[in-house]
Amino acid sequence: MKRIVILASGSGTLTQAIIDAHLGADIVAVITDQAGAHVLDRAHSAHIETFTVPMMADRTEWDREVETLIAALKPDLVVCAGFMRVLSERITNRFKIINSHPSLLPLFPGAHAVRDALAAQVPETGTTIHWVDGGLDTGQVIAHERVRIYSGDTEATLHERIKIVERGLIVATIKSLLPKLEKTIG
């Protein structure tokens, strides 16, 4: 059975969608950088092992700790599901990692994609699943789905509509990738 490790920083709605999808893979752990993240409760409820690695003053040490932990878990795929940290190139070169991002990349990379799309007054945005590389949302796009922006949208309402689409797209993407993955890296 393929092994998935999820990295998440927040409420865990993407993680919950992955858990609920019953992908025929083993979600071996959820790793977060936030001790109080609600994603930990979701993982505990699903009997998934959790780890918290808070950001350290020495970023190199944090990278080393995260890399060691991921390697010990022997994942076939690492899924960034609302993980709000940029991973080092050393980590991204070692593991197969995908990320979900709330825009149509390469447009609006970074932590404020929804706000940036509204400020740009574009007619649509969306969500993208991409391979993670050493850059900020610069990896090869795997899939994307469009979401229309309405005149009355706020950052909160638009982001909520994107999240609905994002949950379905990340599950569909993982389903399509799992049979293609080679044996565990690391």
13 located within any domain: yes
The answer to whether position 117 is within a domain reads no
Rg of the chain in Å (alpha carbons): 16
Catalytic residue among 101, 112, 130, 159: 101
Per-residue pLDDT of the chain in tens (186 residues, 90 and over written 9): 999 999 999 999 999 999 999 999 999 999 999 999 999 999 999 999 999 999 999 999 999 999 999 999 999 999 999 999 999 999 999 999 999 999 999 999 999 999 999 999 999 999 999 999 999 999 999 999 999 999 999 999 999 999 999 999 999 999 999 999 975 444
Active site residue 101: yes
Asked, for residue 26, whether it belongs to a domain, the answer is yes
On the 0-12 / 13-18 / 19+ scale of CB atoms within 10 A, 94 is middle
Distance CA 84, CA 154 (A): 21
169 domain residue, yes or no: yes
Which domain does 173 fall in, by range?
A: 3-101+127-145+161-180
155 in a domain, yes or no?
no
Q: Domain of 15: which CATH number?
A: 3.40.50.170
The answer to whether position 153 is within a domain reads no
In a domain, 95, yes or no: yes
Please give the tally of structural domains in the chain. 1
Q: Is residue 113 part of a domain?
A: no
